[in-house]
Amino acid sequence: MGAFLTTAAFFCVALVGTLAKVSGQYTSTGVLLLFQNAVCLLFLLPAAWRDGWRSMRTQVVGLHLLRAVMGTGCWYALFFAISQIPLANATLLTYSAPLWMPLIAWAVTRVRVAAATWLGAGVGFVGVLLVLQPQGRGFSAGELSALAGALLLAVAMMSVRWLGRTEPALRILFYYFLLSTVLSVPIALADWQPTEPAAWPWLVGLGLTQLLSQILIVAAYRYASAEKLGPFIYTVIVFTAVIDWIVWGHRPTLFTYLGMALVIGGGLLAVRAKSVPAQPDQTG
């Protein structure tokens, strides 16, 4: 169930990237980021009001803020990358985030990660490289932005898991979009451009699709840990490649197909592995 929900979530994420690329023709990256978060917050407010504001009280404000900062930074990095390099390349680089998740999990919890999880992540990364096909040149600004987004995304995804231990889904989503909207305002003001009327349907669609993806992610992390489900975010690469083919006519190459096979295989290998229990300290 966790794998299914994560896959569905990242199909929505692929749609978010697609809508952002289309919307970016009409407005700036900062405005995209603000509308994405503000639309989601607008739709969550009635649910928060219905449950009562007392239900939104939290003892982990710092963790909510960490997730919002990391998430906002990741989305800005991805949206900027999409405006500079092809959609598929930006997505591939940003969603290499699962490679960082086992390391983050070990650093925070000191629970050893199974070798199969590392192996699965490595296989998936080889698949990413096959699809990306680096040419031995330096990274462009867009590619560096996407790589920075990958690290930010890894921390954001882990924070969702940590929040899920004590916080209900609605509270997690409410604080994320509230804080992210506040964080997005100065970015949008610094990057402000008039928004053409043709952009509004795309911007609303962007926000609603983002909201659905976040709901699915929060639900998925109640079934399995982030390091287990992390490799399944690679499915966004497959979805993006298909959308790129259908919408922009960029047909996947043989290397793309091989890369996709490795991405999926690595994800399945990693999710079947079990965490290795920490060994007791024999030195004391």
Please give the C-alpha separations between residue 140 and each of 50, 146, 237, in angstroms, as whole numbers: 47, 10, 20
For residue 273, the Cα-to-chain-centroid distance in whole angstroms is 22
Q: pTM of the predicted model, to two decimals?
A: 0.80
* Whole-angstrom distance, CA of residue 38 vs CA of residue 33: 9
User: Contact, 94 vs 16, CB < 8 A?
Assistant: no
pLDDT digits (tens, 9 = 90+) for 52-89: 878 888 889 999 999 999 999 999 999 999 888 888 87
* Whole-angstrom distance, CA of residue 17 vs CA of residue 28: 14
Token pair belonging to 57: 């009280």
Which of these, 215, 253, 267, 254, lies nearest to 3 by C-alpha position? 267
Q: For 258-262, which contacts have Cβ atoms below 8 Å and span 24 or more sequence positions?
A: 258/127, 258/130, 259/126, 259/127, 259/128, 259/129, 259/130, 259/131, 259/132, 260/127, 260/131, 261/127, 262/123, 262/124, 262/126, 262/127, 262/130
Strands (E) located in 58-192 = none
pLDDT digits (tens, 9 = 90+) for 181-234: 999 999 999 988 888 888 889 999 999 999 898 888 878 878 877 667 767 777
Quick one: average pLDDT of 133-139?
A: 57
